[in-house]
Amino acid sequence: MRVLITLLLSLISSQVFATAQFADILIYNRDTLILHSNPLESYFDQKGNRKIGEVEMIGTCTALWRGYVATWELTNDSLFLVKVQTNCCSDPITLNIEQEFGTNRIFADWVSYPLLNPYGKMILYVHMRYHSVYEHERYFDFEGGKLKAVEEFKPSYVSILEKEPDSLNNFLYQVINWGLVKKFKLKKKARVMTWVWIDESGDIQDIQILGGINEELNKEARRVIRLIPEWSIYYKCGKVTIQPRRIPIYFDKKIYTKKKKKFQ
């Protein structure tokens, strides 16, 4: 698990491919949806280069390594490419896709795989690619650009304590052993930062301390974490995704009584 923590921290600190990415857009039933899939990439693979007309798709910021945002439209069970924009991190530029395809509405017959559409509220932000978790997800499954099926995945479950920071703060305030805390007469760093891993059953898999105070208060932080009665369970593409929770345990009553800090 310590290896996983090292890897996690290196990914968070690194800008290379770590940033959450701009999503492609899908217009479906008059709704504007996001896609955590990029079907234009398979077109580039077939073509052998990453150009639309004379414009090469090159990333201009860490939030858009592929260099573009494509807009797709699903009409009469057929998938069409209708817009490609570059420079989306500042002032978007709409490309002339007719120069590349001979039309402004391209039937995406190269798409023969499912496209992932997360929807509802984002319930967990992850600063990496398309790893953030939404309330709901579904696949639009295509064969030769024609829709074969729509598959809805099991929704993620969010516990009340993770959904409402004030509820968590109130719980932590009640279960912390303040008598133990008083013993140390803390003045400055009255916080233990924890990373918590939850398994697919909603049980604690591991707790690691990243920034502790002393052995006794670090142990108290672990004890308090294990008292939290329920945890959220997150799904990606129908499978449980193990996402670490960063939970600060503050050994300072003022933090909780004034409700200045939030669950992260």
3-state helix, strand, coil in the chain (%, to 5): 25, 35, 40
Is residue 17 pLDDT above 60, yes or no? no
Alpha-carbon distance 174 to 227, whole Å? 11
Looking at residue 124, its pLDDT comes to 86
At 11, the pLDDT band (50, 70, 90 cuts) reads very low
Alpha-carbon distance 199 to 46, whole Å? 40
Are the CB atoms for 36 and 23 separated by under 8 Å? yes
Average the pLDDT over 190-194 and give the result: 92
8-12, 93-97, 252-256 — which is least confidently predicted?
8-12
Can you give the C-alpha Rg of the chain in angstroms?
Answer: 23
Phi first, then psi: give them for residue 70, nearest 5 degrees.
Answer: -100, 145
